Structure formats: structure tokens, C-alpha cells
Amino acid sequence: MDIKLEVVTVPVSDVDRAKAFYVDQVGFVADHDQAVSDEIRFVQLTPPGSACSIAFGKGISKMEPGSLQAIMCVVGDAEAARTELASRGVEVSDVDDQPWGKFVYFADPDGNGWSFQELPDWSTGAGGSGQRPEN
């Protein structure tokens, strides 16, 4: 059985503010913005190169705004991602260099927490196998 994660709902308090943050500052692509009624609005955005999108809006989630933490995306270069986010006005952490990757952290205007991870070169010291180590 194949299972594909395609959409993660992010709880926000102000749809227009969240859309501007994710599109203009983080660089996500706006896929859909549909107001079904005065009570329901659905916005879907996709990080460039991702097969998974985020969604938020009005009347689509019972989660408290800012309650989603530890959303992780993978980037090719954590330092470059940090530089780009900072240049777009995002308050972003310094690069956190760990054995399992390099990370930068930031939050949206509601406090939903994100990390961008640069994966380590799994083949380093593995005899050139290119395989991820087993846990």
C-alpha cells in the first residue's frame, strides 16, 4: 500500500496575513484560495519542489492558531535557506549544526513552528555506499 502525505493543515488566526507571510516571505507557491461561503475559505500553498502542500483558512480546522509545532522541510543548504528567509524579513535562527543535519528554525505570525533541515551526507565515512545508516 502506497501512502502519500499531500496536505498539512496549519491553524492560523488571520488568513490574509498567513498567506502573505508564506507566499511573500517564505516563498511558497499559492495554489488555491477559495471562499466557499462567508464561513468557509480554503487556501492551499506549496513549498517550491515539494509534493506536500499546506492548507489553512476559515472554518477548516479546530486546532488553535499557533498550536502546530515542529513542521520540518528539507533544503539543500541550510545557510542559504537562512540567508534567503532573513532577506525576506523572516525572523530565523542561526544554523544549528547537529550530527543528523543542519537546521534553521522560524515561526509564522501565529507561532506555528517550522524547521528547514539540510540532510547530512550519509555516505561520509560509510565506504562510499551512499546508504543511510540503520537505526
* CA 121 to chain CA centroid, nearest Å: 22
Cell of 62: 479546530
pLDDT tens digits, 92-131: 999 999 999 999 999 999 999 999 999 998 766 554 444 5
Cell of 20: 502573505
Cell 476559515 locates to 58
Return the closest-CA partner of residue 109 out of 95, 90, 94.
90
Cell of 101: 543535519
> Distance between CA 126 and CA 57 in Å, rounded?
46
Instruction: Write down the pTM of the prediction.
Output: 0.88
> Distance between CA 132 and CA 55 in Å, rounded?
31
8 Å CB contact between 38 and 77: no
| H or E segment and range at residue 18 | helix 15-20
8 Å CB contact between 49 and 61: no
pLDDT tens digits, 49-100: 999 999 999 999 999 999 999 999 999 999 999 999 999 999 999 999 999 9
Judged against a pLDDT cut of 80, whether residue 135 lies above it is answered with: no
Domain residue limits, the chain: 7-118
Architecture of domain 7-118: Roll (3.10)
Which value, in Å, is the radius of gyration of the alpha carbons in the chain? 17
